[in-house]
Structure formats: C-alpha cells, structure tokens
C-alpha cells in the first residue's frame, strides 16, 4: 500500500488544525491598542501551539520519508496521532482564555503527552512493518528524544499545580529541544553517521 494518500491526508488535517486555531483570535470591536491587550495570552498560546504543530508536521515528514509503505495498523496509528493533535486548538483556546491558569495548562500538557505517545506508537508501527534491520528502524533508533519529552511533560503536569508558569516553561523547553528537525533520520538516509 503506497504512502502517498496517508501523507496527503495528514498534511491536510495538520494544515487545517494549524490554521483554525487563529479563528480563536477574534478581532475586538474597538480599533485601539488597549482592545488588543486581552488577546495577548491567546496570542501566546497560539504561537506555542503553532510551533508544536510545525514540529509534528516536520517530524511526520521525516518519519514518512524514511518509510517505504504502509499497512492498516499504520493508517490507524496515524489517525490516532491526528486525533490528539486535533484537540490542540481546543486546549490552546482554553489555555489562552484563562491566561495560562493551572487546570487548562494541565490539560494542554495532557494533550501534548498523548500526542507524543501517539507519535511513538506510529514510529513503532512503522518499524515493525519495515523490520528491525531497515533503514527506518536504524534511523529512529530508541527515539530517546521522544521518551524524554514524555518524562518532561509528566513533570510539567505535576508542577503545574505548584505554579502553571513552570509547566508552560517546560512546554517551551521541549519545543526548543525539537525545533531542530530529526537529524537522525536525515543522517541515516544520506549515509552519514548519527553520533549525536
């Protein structure tokens, strides 16, 4: 089964998710700078979520590039990832509307955690289909960055009850950690070593 439509559908869904979040930034009635101020937390949560979705699209792009073909379980592992990503606009809006208070920030972390897990499952499904000796399996390796992210999200969710800005800071930290695209796969594909 070819991977073309899976890529096209995922691109479509991720493009829509990344774009409809902006609908939450409703234009205020007054045309003054003061009228913009209440939108600031919404804007910041939009920026964070835009970056996260950019990271997911980027990594998804790299992951599928190394894949040769897909099967039924991979299609569903992919839809499972898209499901959690589709909830990002909701938690983004809730976090922004409540100025990054504890419960919304916790739920935001929960959706990040489940998205991260879903990505991990998708990577495993791809490896199990391509074999442990495939280029893809070697390129993904143990996915220690993905596992580390889940640990950090867990810590962030707990620390949100101490102070929500610590959790938010950790989400930003993970985003920065991922901003560099997945060099492991790129290296393997171009035959370079992946010692990093």
Binding site for its own copies (CB under 8 A): 1-2, 5-9, 11-20, 22-33, 36, 47, 50, 54, 57-58, 61, 65, 72, 75-76, 79, 82-83, 86-87, 89-90, 93-94, 97-98, 101-104, 107, 179-181, 183, 186
Least separation in angstroms between CB 169 and its own copies: 18
Least separation in angstroms between CB 148 and its own copies: 20
Closer CB to its own copies, 17 or 123, in the complex:
17
Give the residue among 85, 48, 47, 56 at the shortest CA–CA distance from 146.
Answer: 56
CA 157 to chain centre: 16
- Dist. CA 104–CA 98, nearest whole Å: 7
Closer CB to its own copies, 143 or 186, in the complex:
186
Least separation in angstroms between CB 176 and its own copies: 12
Least separation in angstroms between CB 122 and its own copies: 14
Give the Å distances, CA to CA, from 67 to 41, 98, 103. Answer: 39, 41, 38
Closer CB to its own copies, 15 or 177, in the complex:
15
Per 3-state DSSP, the chain is made up of helix, strand and coil in percentages (nearest 5) of 80, 0, 20
Find tokens 């492991």 and name the residue.
184
Least separation in angstroms between CB 24 and its own copies: 8
- Dist. CA 92–CA 80, nearest whole Å: 19
Closer CB to its own copies, 71 or 151, in the complex:
71
Using an 8 Å Cβ cutoff, are 122 and 135 in contact? no
């Amino acid at each position: 089964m070819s991977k073309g439509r899976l890529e096209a559908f995922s691109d479509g869904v991720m493009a829509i998710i990344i774009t409809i979040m902006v609908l939450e930034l409703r234009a205020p009635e007054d045309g003054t700078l003061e009228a913009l101020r209440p939108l600031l937390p919404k804007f910041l949560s939009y920026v964070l979520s835009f970056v996260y979705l950019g990271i997911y699209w980027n990594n998804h792009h790299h992951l599928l590039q190394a894949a040769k073909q897909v099967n039924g379980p991979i299609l569903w592992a992919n839809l499972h990832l898209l499901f959690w990503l589709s909830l990002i606009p909701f938690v983004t809006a809730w976090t922004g509307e409540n100025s990054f208070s504890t419960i919304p920030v916790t739920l935001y972390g929960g959706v990040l955690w489940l998205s991260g897990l879903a990505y991990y499952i998708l990577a495993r499904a791809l490896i199990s289909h391509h074999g442990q000796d495939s280029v893809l399996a070697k390129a993904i390796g143990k996915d220690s960055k993905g596992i580390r992210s889940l640990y950090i999200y867990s810590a962030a969710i707990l620390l949100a009850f101490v102070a929500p800005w610590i959790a938010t800071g950790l989400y930003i930290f993970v985003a920065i950690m991922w901003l560099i695209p997945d060099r492991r796969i790129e290296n393997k594909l171009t035959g370079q070593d992946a010692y990093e």
